[in-house]
Structure 1
Amino acid sequence: MTQTQTETVPEQDSPGRTRWGIFLAILAVPTLVVAALLALLIAWLFTDDSVAADVKQTSCAEALAFGGTKLPEGAKDAWCGLEAGPEARYTARFRMPRAEIDAWVAAGFPQGPKLRTTQCGDAQVDACLNAGPVAGERASVQIDITHDSRRWSEVRFEAFTL
């Protein structure tokens, strides 16, 4: 028997298959689930989940009478509404001549308070009034007045029970 010489073939230095692809696929599923849960949590935190008030349009005579006053003579673009809820809350928005505001407030609230130009809460508001229920009235009133121009002002009126 004769021995044959065997030739040794050097192995190739190319890397073999790794299991990184399988590992990444397994890791991707829980990562996507956690990302989806975080997105749902953020959406839940930044959405308004309070009960939306159902506002229906009503007559301005009714809305302003609830607060103890009436719509001024020169009012324009009037819109009035009633928010549904356990307590009545009337809102009104209208424009009126700027020069007639003091007379309208004095006629509607003869016992006071007077309009004030400070501590109105909103920096855009030029004058405001907060009146609690006084004798013969059943509602608290908040009035915010913003001067649109030298002649006209926008009035936001709210009357509600406490």
Structure 2
Amino acid sequence: MTLTPTETVAEQAEPGRTRWGVFLAILAVPTLVVAALLALLIAWLFTDDSVAADVKKTSCAEALAFGGAKLPAGARDTWCGLQAGPEPRYEARFRMPRAEIDAWVAAGFPQGPKLRTTQCGEAQVDACLNAGPVAGERAFVQIEITHDSRKWSEVRFVAFTG
């Protein structure tokens, strides 16, 4: 059989290699890197790495007693904690009636000092007190008071060793 110039010969198809395998291998490396980064991001988002991770909740009677004070009778929204470390550091936060603040401070610190309204550090604090070791204790006390309304004030009480 002779071929005419217009006829074409069909090539025999042999199973050959495609480049898909190489392409997928190259694409797999960045995909695995991105997947690993996403996994690390999700793990980071769901772990508790807050600054206060070393603070454990404790009783307010214990926290205030460390600084020589007692929780006022009308206190609300109380939270107290103990910060871990070589020296104990207690912190208490609560709200109390604004009219009872002076009597509470006087009962806890009869020798003084008195509350002051100047040189309190933060501009948002309405009154503060810094006391050295109180009543034979070795604790220092810082009290910051912020008036929420005409009737209520928020108190932050910190007692620590020096």
| Compared CA separation, residues 36 and 120, structure 1 to 2 (3 A) | farther
**23-32 or 104-113, which deviates more:** 104-113
**How far is 1:150 from its partner?**
0.4
Kindly report the root-mean-square deviation, in angstroms, between the aligned alpha carbons of the 2 structures: 3.7
**How far is 1:81 from its partner?**
3.6
Equivalenced residues, count: 152
| Compared CA separation, residues 4 and 144, structure 1 to 2 (3 A) | closer
Distance 1:156 1:138 in 2: 20
In the other structure, the counterpart of 1:35 is 34
SS of residue in 1 equivalent to 2:54: coil
SS of residue in 2 equivalent to 1:52: helix
In the other structure, the counterpart of 2:115 is 114
Distance 2:72 2:138 in 1: 21
Contact 2:97 2:151 in 1 (8 A): yes
In the other structure, the counterpart of 2:78 is 79
| Compared CA separation, residues 67 and 51, structure 1 to 2 (3 A) | closer
Distance 2:75 2:154 in 1: 9
Q: TM-score, normalised by structure 2?
A: 0.65
Deviations 1:47-73 (A, max 9, x none): 51778336244252x322210222334
Divergent runs of 4+, >4 A? 40-47
Task: Note the residue ranges of structure 2 that are not aligned, 5 or more in a row.
Answer: 11-16
Task: Note the residue ranges of structure 1 that are not aligned, 5 or more in a row.
Answer: 12-16
Q: TM-score, normalised by structure 1?
A: 0.65
Distance 1:125 1:69 in 2: 20
Distance 1:40 1:3 in 2: 67
| Compared CA separation, residues 117 and 43, structure 1 to 2 (3 A) | farther
